[in-house]
Amino acid sequence: MAAERNGIGMVDFAFLDWFWLAAFLIIMLISGIRFYRLGKRSEADYFLAGRGLPWWLPASSVYATHTATDTPMWVSGMVYKLGLSGLWYTFYSSWCAIGAFVAAKIFRRSLAYTQAEWQSLRFGGMAGELLRGWIAGWQVFLNMFILGWVGIAMGKVCNFLFQWPPWVGLVVFSSVCAVYVLASGYWGVVMADFQQGVIAFIVIVIVSIWGINVAGGPSGIAEKLHQMGEAGKLNPFNFTGLFGGEFPLAWFITMLFIGVLGGLGMGTAIDWFPEAQRIQSARTVKDASWSIWSGSALVLIRNALWGVAILAFFVIYPDLTEVKNYEMAWFRLGFENLPVGMIGFFFAAIVAIHISTISTHLNLGAVYITRDLYHHYINPEATQKKLVWVGRMGTFLLLLGSFAFGLIMENITEWLIFALWIMAAGVWLPGILQVIWWRFNGWGYLTAWISNLVFSWLVVWVLPAFGVLPELRDYQQFWALMALGALVFIPVTLLTRPEDMDKLVKFYVMSRPVGWWGPVRREAERRGLL
């Protein structure tokens, strides 16, 4: 029953390989669907598993969600090009280091289902409502986009392995996943994530160690890199200068700054939004804190192992110049080197990796549709049964949207990466200020989003195109957008009225934010609420 491989890019499955795949799919479906009865009880069950999970379940979900089909491609691309120093590109998850003990505590105690809902608890009046509507709409779009992005990555993997048209891998596996997300909601997501996270971790360890051994083991890799004149790839701090080159020290410091201090705020990283759902699903504040801390710590350990495995691939195939070839490094290590019967096991694990991400974003997008758009704006008196039904409709809508996105992704990727980047860069500081500074108001935050849209177009595209500004590097864009935005949203904040003190006191007493909240705390103490 050998799994014969007809050269790179073609895998013929034997019976045992198909068996592994079928068995995994069945186990995943059963483990998700069996929570149908729990998921349908209420909106809180369908989207937050009733806020009753011990820390290790959301932690495994954090890990599984952030191990997607495109993740090894991205890590492969960075490490193949830059060596171990490329791993720092994955250090963005370090926001959880501080976030676990600052933002997570505040968000968990707000009880908000979503970040959009949190905005209306923090900010009042029209600005709070506009922010809620905007963030809900943005998140529906973003989750659909991520589903399309990750889905088409799976399509590419299947195309690479079996020569299937890309849409097949996109549609088939996302649809299988949607079955248990539709049935059981977040209960199904988190329970299947636990199982998928365990499978993914085991397989990542097996394949990476296998690949490292094939390349001669760690000492063999180091020796070959020295012989090739590429010993710099072994140095995790192999920067290309202070400001110049592919990976300057200035970019490294900027990434540390963005990642680590971002944990003081909310919405400072794209990953905040799925993590917020996991924080809220934890049974206590302590469980919430340790869930995102340990899930992200596991992500970093995984990245470290991948880094060494990609170095192994580099010494085997040192001359690849096209990204599309070397970004498949980790997949190739597995498919080209695992023994008979393990290929299907490996592919089944890739499916697990893929489905865990898809399930999260299907349910996450649906909570914004249900809680923030339908329940808040359309039908506040809706029954729990109706809300679960809307949640399922929302899930289905996202699934269909993801197919459309996935199929046109090739043409719009550049624009969408730009959109993601600007959303992260210009609202990073306001995302922190809204948590740590009582005087920052809804109009200030709303202005930050709007001004960021304008400035990012100008700084990244328009002004360089007309020669007014030189083309800035990524880290320069970040600092420029942050400074320009602050020139607008800080005056707007100070020139408009502070949030209503009653609202601020309520928010403070419930969530206990950190930072500059003195006037609000004193008012709460005066009212005998603390």
Partner 1 sequence: MMKRDWTPREADRWTGADTLAVILSPVIYFLILLGFSMAFMLKVSGFIIVGATVVLTIILAKIINPKLDAISRGYEEKQKEYIEELENKLKWMD
Stretch that binds partner 1, among 147-155, 305-313, 357-365, 486-494 (CB under 8 A): 305-313
Stretch that binds partner 1, among 89-97, 269-277, 323-331, 402-410 (CB under 8 A): 89-97
CB 11 within 8 A of CB 163: no
> Torsion-angle region of residue 404: left (phi > 0), alpha (psi -120 to 50) or beta?
alpha
Position 84 contacts partner 1 (CB under 8 A): yes
- Determine the size of the site formed for partner 1 (CB under 8 A): 54
Work out how close the CB of 154 gets to partner 1 at its nearest, in angstroms, rounded to a whole number: 27
Binding mask 496-515 for partner 1 (x = CB under 8 A): --------------x-x-x-
Considering the complex, state which of residue 304 and residue 501 has its C-beta at the smaller distance from partner 1.
304
CA angle 476, 484, 467 (to 5 degrees): 60
Position 198 contacts partner 1 (CB under 8 A): no
- φ, ψ for residue 358, nearest 5 deg: -60, -45
Position 250 contacts partner 1 (CB under 8 A): no
Q: What is the DSSP string of 277-333?
A: HHHHHBSSHHHHHHHHHHHHHHHHHHHHHHHHHHHHHHHHSTT---HHHHTTHHHHH
CB 357 within 8 A of CB 337: no
CB 267 within 8 A of CB 106: no
Q: Find, among 353, 310, 275, the residue nearest to 99 by Cα.
A: 275
Q: Determine the 3-state secondary structure of 53 from DSSP.
A: strand
Q: Which of 19, 91, 389, 437 binds partner 1 (CB under 8 A)?
A: 91
Position 136 contacts partner 1 (CB under 8 A): no
Stretch that binds partner 1, among 8-16, 119-127, 195-203, 319-327 (CB under 8 A): 119-127
Position 385 contacts partner 1 (CB under 8 A): no
Position 230 contacts partner 1 (CB under 8 A): no
Position 112 contacts partner 1 (CB under 8 A): yes
Position 307 contacts partner 1 (CB under 8 A): yes
Position 38 contacts partner 1 (CB under 8 A): no
Position 376 contacts partner 1 (CB under 8 A): yes
CA–CA separation, 526 and 154 (whole Å): 58
Q: Determine the 3-state secondary structure of 437 from DSSP.
A: strand
Q: Which of 66, 224, 375, 392 binds partner 1 (CB under 8 A)?
A: 375
Position 88 contacts partner 1 (CB under 8 A): yes
Position 67 contacts partner 1 (CB under 8 A): no
CA–CA separation, 431 and 142 (whole Å): 18
Beta bridge partners of 516: 437
Residues in region 406-425 near partner 1 by CB under 8 A: none
CA–CA separation, 521 and 139 (whole Å): 32
Q: Find, among 28, 2, 29, the residue nearest to 17 by Cα.
A: 2
Position 300 contacts partner 1 (CB under 8 A): yes
Q: Which of 7, 229, 339, 380 binds partner 1 (CB under 8 A)?
A: 380
Work out how close the CB of 88 gets to partner 1 at its nearest, in angstroms, rounded to a whole number: 8
Q: Find, among 520, 499, 505, the residue nearest to 123 by Cα.
A: 499
CB 49 within 8 A of CB 281: yes
The footprint of partner 1 (CB under 8 A) covers: 84, 87-88, 90-91, 93-94, 96-98, 100-102, 105, 109, 111-112, 120-121, 126, 129, 212, 217-219, 221-222, 234, 236, 260, 263, 284-287, 289, 293, 296-297, 300-301, 303-305, 307-308, 375-377, 380, 510, 512, 514, 530
